[in-house]
Amino acid sequence: MKTKGELEDQISRALTQWEKEYLGRGPLSVKTDILRNMVIVQLRGILTPAEKVLCETKEGMLSIKRIRSDLIESGSEQLKQMIYTLTGKQVTSMHTDISTKTGERMIVFLLQEPIDIQG
């Protein structure tokens, strides 16, 4: 049986690999936390240099947020399946947002039931 830390690390690694394969590049760092029925993932360093320049204007920032949101949404079934495979729990919903100021993305997966795992 996996510990909570081991499972969090596996999720972080799997999400990094998914980002590299699906989006063409991975984040600089990923941190996953499991809390009750939530898997909370923080991805740092996800914006490209060109996206950072675009984010200097409001129009550019909104464009980047929309495009990045659409990209994640288009791969959401893969992400939900990945979480199910690793945790054994169905994902009931997925929520995500990106900060164009810090270059971070947060993804929260709400699971059908809590993960019963040792700390």
- 64-85 pLDDT, tens per residue? 999 999 999 999 999 999 999 9
Quote the Cα angle for 110-116-119, to 5°: 105
pLDDT at res. 25 = 87
The structure's pTM equals: 0.92
Q: How far is the C-alpha of 100 from the C-alpha of 90, rounded, in Å?
A: 30
**Helical segments of the chain, H only:** 4-18, 49-54, 58-74, 76-87
User: CB burial class (10 A; 0-12, 13-18, 19+) of residue 49?
Assistant: exposed
Domains defined for the chain, CATH in brackets: 4-111 (3.30.980)
Write out pLDDT tens, residues 31-76. Answer: 999 999 999 999 999 999 999 999 999 999 999 999 999 999 999 9
What is the sign of the dihedral through the CA atoms of 16, 99, 94 and 111? Answer: positive
Write out pLDDT tens, residues 97-116. Answer: 999 999 999 999 999 999 98
Q: Is the pLDDT assigned to residue 2 strictly greater than 90?
A: no
